[in-house]
Amino acid sequence: MIFDLHSHSTASDGVLSPPDLVSRAAQQGVNVLALTDHDEIRGVFAARAAAAEHGIDLVAGVEISVTWSGRTIHIVGLRVDPEHPVLLEGLRCNRSGRRDRAQRMADALAGAGIPGSMAGACLLATNKELISRTHFARFMVEQGYVKNMKTVFKKFLVRGKPGYVSHQWAALADAIDWIHAAGGVAVLAHPGRYEIGKEKMALLMAEFKELGGEAIEVVTGSHTPDQVPVFAAYAERYALQASVGSDFHAPGEGGRELGRLAPLPAHCIPVWQGW
Ligand code: AMP
Ligand code: MN
Ligand code: MN
Ligand code: MN
């Protein structure tokens, strides 16, 4: 069985529509796919219909942006009720700040000699409530300012760079509560990507567990092979289950292909145990 429990569609910053994403996952041999768009769940209805046609299982999911200890982290919710009012209201609230944030990013980029990025990013975003840094990055690559996605983030879109603006997302406790209200399980996404030391990572794990978080991503497109055993050990130490996901966004953009994932280390308890 191939599980891929983290992916994006045009409902957020992916480039494939939910049905096209599901179709690609089926082609790649994925058996169980979670659609986990940023702060948005509306893609799962079309994805679910397509999954039934392709004979794969679609897990309704979401990836919630959270501000924790002054930095952005991501919490994935799996097996959520996509119509639950508490979750929908929380996501709406998280999305509502994005347009103003995008305008601030565009102003900052204009100051750095890159005009027109608000209109450019907006044109590339299918869901106009969900303009992300990825859309700005694609615009800048398309316009030839930077050669690829990796470089555009490194030079412009991360903290300390000219196109980065700070933003207040949901609180960790709220994100976990919305997921639980909607009957889902909360998964700390790609922990290896947060540039925090061991002490802060221990605080994050402890707080996530204390607030009722169930799992962490151990195998993800964002982890290097040597990070897998490190986060498998965290999962064990904090009695958290382990999840697996590509974080696929687009063919040929440099990220991981759907379903192309290493197996979980043997001592991990898979988040899908008991599903
Ligand atoms: P946002 O939610 O607007 O802050 O955008 C976050 C998204 O930007 C992530 O989900 C990734 O898709 C993308 N992203 C962040 N860092 C990088 C990076 N270094 N390279 C490529 N994409 C990135
Ligand atoms: Mn993304
Ligand atoms: Mn993420
Ligand atoms: Mn993601």
Q: Going from the N-terminus, what domains does the chain have, and what CATH number goes with each?
A: 3-92+169-245 (3.20.20.140), 98-155 (1.10.150.650)
Q: Is the pTM of this model over 0.85?
A: yes
pLDDT more than 70, % of the chain: 100
Atom of ligand 1 nearest to the CA of 101: 3
Please state, in angstroms and rounded to a whole number, the distance separating the CA atoms of residues 59 and 130.
21
Report how far ligand 2's centroid is from the alpha carbon of 8 (Å). Answer: 7
Work out the angle between the directed axes of helices 44-54 and 18-27 (0-180°, nearest 10): 30
Which residues form the pocket of ligand 1, taking CB atoms under 6 Å from any ligand atom? 13, 38, 65, 132-134, 149-150, 153, 249
Q: What is the mean pLDDT of the chain?
A: 98
pLDDT of residue 105: 98
Ligand nearest to the CA of 73: 3
The encoded tokens of residue 174 equal: 């709220």
Instruction: Give the separation between CA 185 and CA 144, rounded to whole angstroms.
Output: 41
Q: What is the pLDDT of residue 19?
A: 98
CA of 86 to the centre of ligand 2 (A): 23
- CA pair distance 250, 248, nearest whole angstrom: 6
In tens, the pLDDT along 67-113 reads: 999 999 999 999 999 999 999 999 999 999 999 999 999 999 999 99
Can you tell me the distance from the alpha carbon of 193 to that of 6, in angstroms, rounded to the nearest whole number? Answer: 15
For residues 121 and 136, is the Cβ–Cβ distance under 8 A? yes
Q: Calculate the CA 201 to chain-centre distance.
A: 19
Strand (E) or helix (H) holding 139: helix 133-142
The closest residue, in CA terms, to atom 4 on ligand 1 is: 133
Interval between CA 134 and ligand 1 midpoint (Å)? 6
Residue 96: predicted pLDDT? 97
- Crossing angle for the helix pair 198-210 and 227-237, to the nearest 10 degrees: 50
Q: How many CB atoms lie within 10 A of CB 265?
A: 16
Identify the sign of the CA torsion 263, 267, 271, 273.
Answer: positive
pLDDT digits (tens, 9 = 90+) for 188-205: 999 999 999 999 999 999
As a whole number, mean pLDDT of residues 37-54 equals 98
The best mutation among 134, 151, 156, 194 to test binding of ligand 1, ranked by most ligand atoms within 8 Å of the C-beta, falls on 134
Q: Which ligand is nearest to the CA of 36?
A: 4
Q: What does the pLDDT average to over 149-175?
A: 97
Residue nearest to atom 12 of ligand 1 (CA): 134
pLDDT at 136: 98
271/187 Cα distance (integer angstroms): 9
**DSSP designation for 41:** -
Confidence of residue 151 (pLDDT cuts 50, 70, 90): very high
Pocket residue to mutate for ligand 1, from 13, 65, 148, most atoms within 8 A of Cβ: 13
Which amino acid, one-letter code, is at 93? C
User: 227 CA to middle of ligand 3, Å?
Assistant: 16
Ligand 4 midpoint to CA 69 (Å): 20
Residue located nearest, by CA, to atom 16 of ligand 1: 153
Distance 187 CA to ligand 3 centre (A): 11
